[in-house]
Amino acid sequence: MLTQLSIKNYALIDDLNVSFTKGFTTITGETGAGKSILLGGLSLVLGKRADLSSLKNKDQKCIIEASFEIERYALQSFFNANDLDYEDQSILRREILPSGKSRAFINDTPVTLDILSGLGEQLVDIHSQHQTLRLADNDFQMKVIDALADNSKNLDEYTIRLKTYQSILKELQELLNFQSNADKELDYNSFLFQELENAPLKHGIQTALEAEYEELNNVEAILEQLSSAYQLLNSEQLGVLNSISELQQATQKLEGFGKQFEQLNERVQSIAIEIADIANDLELQQDRVEANPKRLEEVNSQLQLFHNLFKKHQVSTVDELIKIREDLSIKVDASINIEARIKEKELAVSETEAELDNIAAEIREKRNAIIPKLKSLLQEKLSALGMASATFKIAVTPAETFNNNGKDLLTFLFSANKGSTYGELKKVASGGELSRIMLTIKSILAAYEHLPTLMFDEIDTGVSGEISNKMGEIMQEMSTNMQVFSITHLPQVASKGVYQYKVFKEEGSATTTTHMKKLSEEERINELAEMLGGKSLSASALAHAKELLESNNEHQKL
């Protein structure tokens, strides 16, 4: 329920702040007074896109703020899904900056325009002449039928199953697409896999083979340097080991002359041990290293194989080849097992389709059961609105494919007069008839589901006084379960409101400003009298206005 609306620096509005309550509220004012501006401001805070032309003063920002009581709307899940703080009394705010940028907030948390619009749609339903075009939309018509048929749980279950069905169908199609190419690729992938499987691919093998190749390919040079190094250590006259031995003897003799010589001797002894180990290793390496042309050829052959595979697969390491081999193994296995996977997925599609058909049949049954009641209610209410001969042909028949709201085709035809041909609403109904039909549908829906605040924008345009009186009664009746606003030019409708607000303009020396005020009882009588007979406020107009208001007050007491 809309409880407060604040508009600053928007169009002809400087600063407007107005409070509302539950029930039926009417809004009146002369043509051009700014009723559409008020509606435009409300639309902005509900998520409509804006531009700089919205600003009254181009140097200041426009701020529109609306407070709502939302406890009865079950919107906690929306707030949770969008990471917003939920409050029973929530505030929506829209700011339009002089730069042209726009900002939106819900309970002081910045949000995108899509989120603001998503919440706004669930809080206020602005019904204008343009919105009557929705009547011709099959989805809207089906929504009306489903509301009366109490199909919400069935449709929720159907939606969940439909998503599953569509997901499985997509997976099946991907498998079928894969299969169409798999036969062509299987032989080639199998050949590539077998080639890599036969190659001695192991982690680290490339580094080991390259090191072995370097040694085998340089045996003579290695042996020459090993021998030279060994001779330097073991030469009888100039060998390092003999010199080290003499050095050991010298430092051993110094050891007894002090701590510093003892440490020096320990270092020399350590070096002697290390040099002896090196000499031993040099001798072992000379015995180990030998020419092996056969092994050199084998190592070179393996490295050449790797090089060829690198070039073929456009990689540079054995590890990359191992990864390619693993991927090819998966592809080959998938190709071989594709038939079984397709059959498994086809079975899942068939089972889910059967479940969907069952749910769709239940939805269809409930739709068909409620259609007679819907036709009766429509025709009864429209008769009271001056359309006594209006009749409908509504039928639900099975469709070939699954739709978002079931598996049905809807025929929703209308005839306004006896003997007239039935046709689609948008083709055979006039604008005034569409407005009355939409009001009737909304009044029926109000008894079956929690509708948001309804804002009727001159829905009574072009209808007679008696019909407008009945339209006012319908809106008044709807307001017992919800908040209803009506922007109207007709006194018969305006008098039905529990509260009446007037939109008016004031012209200053340089600017024109739109205002809105809640009318007192006396002000309402004067406003209604002016709507009835003009600004002269004749005695008869005042009496008629008072009579309209008193009649409405008596009705409200009942």
Element (H, E) at 105: strand 102-106
Q: How far is CA 447 from the centre of its chain?
A: 31
The answer to whether 394 touches 412, Cβ cutoff 8 Å, is: yes
Q: How far is CA 231 from the centre of its chain?
A: 81
Q: What is the dihedral of CA 397, 402, 406, 409, to 10 degrees?
A: -30
Give me the architecture of the 1-128+452-519 domain, per CATH: 3-Layer(aba) Sandwich (3.40)
Q: What is the pLDDT, as a whole number, of residue 407?
A: 95
Identify the bridge partners of residue 9 per DSSP, sorted by sequence position.
Answer: none
The answer to whether 501 touches 514, Cβ cutoff 8 Å, is: no
Spatial separation of the C-alpha atoms in residues 253 and 265, rounded to whole Å: 9
The answer to whether 399 touches 408, Cβ cutoff 8 Å, is: yes
Q: What is the pLDDT, as a whole number, of residue 65?
A: 96
Q: What is the pLDDT, as a whole number, of residue 233?
A: 83
Spatial separation of the C-alpha atoms in residues 525 and 522, rounded to whole Å: 5
Strand boundaries in 130-254, DSSP class E: none
Q: How many helices (H) and strands (E) does the chain have?
A: 17, 15
Residue 463 makes CB contacts below 8 A (sequence gap 6+) with 385, 386, 432, 435, 436, 471, 490
Spatial separation of the C-alpha atoms in residues 152 and 158, rounded to whole Å: 10
Tell me the pairing of strands 423-424 and 406-415. Answer: antiparallel
Strand boundaries in 458-539, DSSP class E: 484-487, 499-507, 512-518
Tell me the pairing of strands 62-69 and 2-10. Answer: antiparallel
Q: What is the pLDDT, as a whole number, of residue 298?
A: 83
| CB neighbourhood size of 114 (10 A) | 11
Q: What is the pLDDT, as a whole number, of residue 133?
A: 67
Q: What is the pLDDT, as a whole number, of residue 498?
A: 93
Residue 271 makes CB contacts below 8 A (sequence gap 6+) with 244
Q: What is the pLDDT, as a whole number, of residue 556?
A: 62
The answer to whether 67 touches 91, Cβ cutoff 8 Å, is: yes
| CB neighbourhood size of 358 (10 A) | 12
Q: Rounded to two decimals, what is the model's pTM? A: 0.68
Tell me the pairing of strands 512-518 and 499-507. Answer: antiparallel
Q: Mean pLDDT for each consecutive 10-residue tract of the chain (558 residues)?
A: 94 91 92 82 89 81 94 91 94 91 94 94 82 78 93 94 96 86 73 84 84 79 82 76 81 84 88 87 81 81 85 88 86 77 92 96 96 95 91 94 94 91 88 86 86 87 81 91 91 93 87 91 93 84 89 66
Q: Where are the domains of the chain?
A: 1-128+452-519, 521-558
Q: Which single residue is written with the structure tokens 């072992």? A: 284
Residue 332 makes CB contacts below 8 A (sequence gap 6+) with 186, 189, 190, 193
Phi, psi of 106 (to 5 degrees): -125, 115
Helix, strand, coil shares of the chain, percent, nearest 5, are 60, 20, 20
Spatial separation of the C-alpha atoms in residues 355 and 358, rounded to whole Å: 5
Q: Which single residue is written with the structure tokens 């190094």? A: 229
Element (H, E) at 8: strand 2-10
